[in-house]
Amino acid sequence: METLNLNRRKFLTALSLGTAHVLFSNPLLANTFQSASLNPLQKVKLGNSGIETTLLGIGTGVHASNRSSFLTKQEKNKSLGLLRYAYDKGFRNFDCADTYGTHWMMADVLPHMNREELTITSKIWVRSGGIPDADRPDANIVVDRFRKEMKTDYIDLVQIHCMVDADWTESQKRQMDILENLKSKGIVKAHGVSVHSLEAMKAAVESPWVDVIHVRINPYGIAMDKPEPEEVVKVIKQLHDSGKGVIGMKVIGDGKYSGDSEKIDNTLRFVMGLGTVNMMIVGFENTAQIDNYLGRVEKALGELNRG
């Protein structure tokens, strides 16, 4: 088979049909998209983690760093209203992190939601920078702070954030063991990692500790671990086949093509058509975007089912 670079025209044509995944070499050809529902907020299982949540989730880390994000910068009631609007529409997955600065928002909206229906994610920052060094003690202390900030007894998914090194499963062994202990006590329901390099992603494949992983995936290689998606897609399949829950992030290229309707639709068909990404996280800035994406995902599901 020719490489993806040599098949660029064919690849882009397949994108529009939602079948680009079949251009990759085996064993990806065995993947067949199947969904009994066209509901963009249908319930999906995150691998063998025991977590069941919605196909589409709310990312609270739009343009986030140093505990600041779009939601923290805009008028408070607009951001809180967006989260409540999403819940009323049927979203049940809310993705947070220490570096996003949005824990207090979840504390504000949780009284208006059924906690048992929700999947709340947060992520521990262990690298230099990002947050003050004093705020990076062991995971049990950090998770206890997270629970207090969000005013919840437990957190559904806690991940080690933004791993890039191939040896992260060794360097973070202490934090991994602490999170495993917290899971045994029901303080967290599942644990895992968010990766920002292909080497770190490959390490996650070999780690039985990883319940759920965030991976950067889109068909354009924007804000992704490789400029071409082929190798990334192969590793994602390995993650999926090993029973790990796979959450797609940066599906709109970190917002780089948020104004390109065709690329958005191509991406939704591509990511869901792989059959190896359990759900997608999208960061929204207003309620109109939420309605827009609900319509787009429903349309993409219909096209994939017909395809």
Looking at residue 87, which CATH number applies to its domain? 3.20.20.100
Domain-embedded: residue 13: no
Domain-embedded: residue 38: no
Domain-embedded: residue 39: no
Q: What's the pTM?
A: 0.90
Domain-embedded: residue 2: no
Domain-embedded: residue 34: no
Give, for all 307 residues of the chain, the pLDDT tens digit. 233 343 555 655 565 555 555 554 333 433 455 666 899 999 999 999 999 999 999 999 888 777 889 999 999 999 999 999 999 999 999 999 999 999 999 999 999 999 999 999 999 999 887 778 787 899 999 999 999 999 999 999 999 999 999 999 999 999 999 999 999 999 999 999 999 999 999 999 999 999 999 999 998 889 888 887 888 999 999 999 999 999 999 999 888 898 999 999 999 999 999 999 999 999 999 999 999 999 999 999 999 888 6
Which domain does 72 fall in, by range? 54-306
Domain-embedded: residue 23: no
The pLDDT value given to residue 24: 46
Domain-embedded: residue 174: yes
The pLDDT value given to residue 136: 83
Domain-embedded: residue 119: yes
The pLDDT value given to residue 258: 87
Domains in the chain: how many in total? Answer: 1
The pLDDT value given to residue 8: 53
Given a contact cutoff of 8 angstroms between Cβ atoms, the answer to whether 281 and 95 are in contact is yes
The pLDDT value given to residue 14: 61
The pLDDT value given to residue 215: 98
